[in-house]
Structure 1
Amino acid sequence: MDYDGGWAQYALAREDTPVPLPDHLPFDQAAIIPDAVSTPYAAIVEAGDVRPAEAVGIWGAGGIGAHGIRVARLAGAAPIIAVDPLPGARERALAFGADLALDPAAPDFTQVVHRSTGGQGLRAAFDFAGVGAARTQATAALGPAGVLVLAGLTPEPLTIGDSVNFCFQAHRIRGHFGCGDDHVDQLIRLVSAGRLDLAPSITAHVPLAEAADAVARLEKKTGDPIRLVLTP
């Protein structure tokens, strides 16, 4: 990440950047660990500090949020509430381990979150969509001492509607980007040990020569892809 040459048959790498892979770990699954899995992993386990039995909400069930759901389940979060306006994304969220998958525009959204968390609200909410409206909704769903983690990037301003309640409830907002140096190694061990199955995340393998078409498929959500792996 952040180095030139990623979309090439060969690329130079500094000696401290390659990571050894076990022989039994498929290379295509290992290829998506940096960023696609490591970013939500760091957001869940570090920025959000999610503990077992804590209620979490995940806004956006795309290529990053879908893995956030899997990591939250691995961390023992309960319930895991996924929020996405796309029906296909909500179906994927349930397949990836969410307990509930809600449409943010549903008229009973607030009531369902309240009921499913035993009236306590969310201990942690994660914006993987990078949408201002999602952040507003996520903040309102937080319970006492809840934290909103901003993992989706957007230039939109962040606004706290009810600042009195925000302070009274001791809410927190944390920005998040990328992952730490050790997170990729941790994920390699977890995937190798069978704790995470990344095979369902590989939507297709695309020849390197068709990289532009692959980007267009992602941008237009053609076939609702999670991750496309370029093969040299």
Structure 2
Amino acid sequence: MSQQVRAVVARAKGQPVEVVTINVPDPGPGEAVVKVQACGVCHTDLHYREGGINDDFPFLLGHEAAGVVEAVGPDVTAVAPGDFVILNWRAVCGDCRACDRGEPWYCFATHNATQKMTLEDGTELSPALGIGAFAEKTLVAAGQCTKVDPSARPAAVGLLGCGVMAGIGAAINTGAVTRGKSVAVIGCGGVGVAAIAGSALAGASPIIAVDIDPKKLEQAKRMGATHTVDSSGTDPVAAIQELTGGNGADVVIEAVGRPETWKQAFYARDLAGTVVLVGVPTPDMKVPDIPLIDVFGRGGSLKSSWYGDCLPSRDFPMLVDLYQQGRLDLDAFVTEEIGIDDIEAAFEKMHHGDVLRSVVLFS
């Protein structure tokens, strides 16, 4: 039998979201039903509402979540009812060519729940990133549930489900930031600030934060940036070079997802340095016009970071432990705690850069 719960749905492109009743089926083979405790409002949810991902409306929004497993389907052994979990959108298959070569963080066949959640009239919903956690309960693949310390604060650790993990992973996993490396981060929203926190955790220095918003630069300093550059009035490439002895940074992380800022990142890195693209571009954007001789002559690596190249089963428990030890301030990412009816207002605040994360709490 299915359950009926309240949830947030985007019915059409650009239209305000609605709080409606949806049907959540009992878990089938390989599936789990999770009672959601907290879910962050991520920019990806706004992308879904605006039709920037695809046009498979209606969408069940929400994906940065933590909660408690309520029920599991047949053959599920990795999690059990009562487990406190962070939801992830990389349920590793274990059988694809990436998994077979020992790189499951690149899994090319990640999967979601087989059954569909629906509106009351039976219309099938498309869950954001295969999760759909702006809901009192949600149905996911059991592999999307990662067990962590149950004493951790759901509003904080749930953010590892997307943006915070993407930023920390872009620095540590994709960019291979280590002690003594210099880092610049262009774009200091939630993902960019998380990249700064990850760089600080790894011992990088200097850590240079670049943005056009003074409020975001202040947030970046609180999370570990040693220097800030207001690129609304300063050439960020020249500023980064000046702060790194004229050389450029060893790792430059682009957390905006625009051609012009990616080009800045390209020229702001040192010879043989690394550029990491973690900002998500729109389908119409093109690689900027850069002479091929510059690509060859500067050497190094140009990388994209998928979900911070994370392996949830490895990275989530480790980062939660660091949070519990006071070494990773996940609480600093939670700007406000809101209810399920406040998501449209949270989108507006996010659009204006007023929050790192609004987090929906469920009773």
What is the TM-score when the length of structure 2 is the normalising length? Answer: 0.60
Paired position in structure 2 for 1:199: 331
Paired position in structure 2 for 1:157: 286
The one of 276, 294, 301 aligned to 1:172: 301
2:347 maps to 1:218: no
1:102-122 Cα offsets, whole Å, 9 max, x none, are 022434644432232122211
Aligned length: 230
SS in 1 for 2:155: helix
**Is the CA contact 2:168–2:197 (under 8 Å) kept in the aligned structure 1?**
no
Moved over 6 A (4+): none
Question: Which is richer in helix?
Answer: 1
**Is the CA contact 1:42–1:180 (under 8 Å) kept in the aligned structure 2?**
no
- Stretches of structure 2 that go unaligned for 5 or more consecutive residues are 1-88, 90-128
2:322 maps to 1:190: yes
**Is the CA contact 2:210–2:228 (under 8 Å) kept in the aligned structure 1?**
yes
**Is the CA contact 2:217–2:228 (under 8 Å) kept in the aligned structure 1?**
yes
**Structure 1 residue 7, shift from structure 2 partner:** 0.7
Which segment drifts farther, 188-197 or 77-86? 188-197
SS in 1 for 2:161: helix
Task: Flag the 1:44–1:110 CA change in 2: closer, same or farther, 3 A.
Answer: closer
Paired position in structure 2 for 1:40: 167
2:271 maps to 1:144: yes
Separation (CA, whole Å) in 1 of partners of 2:346 and 2:241: 40
**Structure 1 residue 220, shift from structure 2 partner:** 3.3
Paired position in structure 2 for 1:230: 360
**Is the CA contact 1:142–1:171 (under 8 Å) kept in the aligned structure 2?**
no
Separation (CA, whole Å) in 2 of partners of 1:212 and 1:107: 34
> What's the Cα RMSD here?
1.8
**Is the CA contact 1:51–1:76 (under 8 Å) kept in the aligned structure 2?**
yes
- Using the aligned pairs only, state the percent identity: 24
1:1-232 aligned within 5 A: 1=89, 2-107=129-234, 109-155=236-282, 156-178=285-307, 179-181=310-312, 182-221=314-353, 224-232=354-362
**Is the CA contact 1:50–1:75 (under 8 Å) kept in the aligned structure 2?**
yes
**Is the CA contact 2:197–2:224 (under 8 Å) kept in the aligned structure 1?**
yes
**Is the CA contact 2:163–2:190 (under 8 Å) kept in the aligned structure 1?**
yes
Separation (CA, whole Å) in 2 of partners of 1:203 and 1:81: 23
Separation (CA, whole Å) in 2 of partners of 1:110 and 1:13: 43
Task: Flag the 1:188–1:160 CA change in 2: closer, same or farther, 3 A.
Answer: farther
SS in 2 for 1:216: helix
Amino acid at match of 1:151: V
Question: Which is richer in strand?
Answer: 2
**Structure 1 residue 160, shift from structure 2 partner:** 4.9
**Structure 1 residue 175, shift from structure 2 partner:** 1.2
What is the TM-score when the length of structure 1 is the normalising length? Answer: 0.91
**Structure 1 residue 197, shift from structure 2 partner:** 1.1
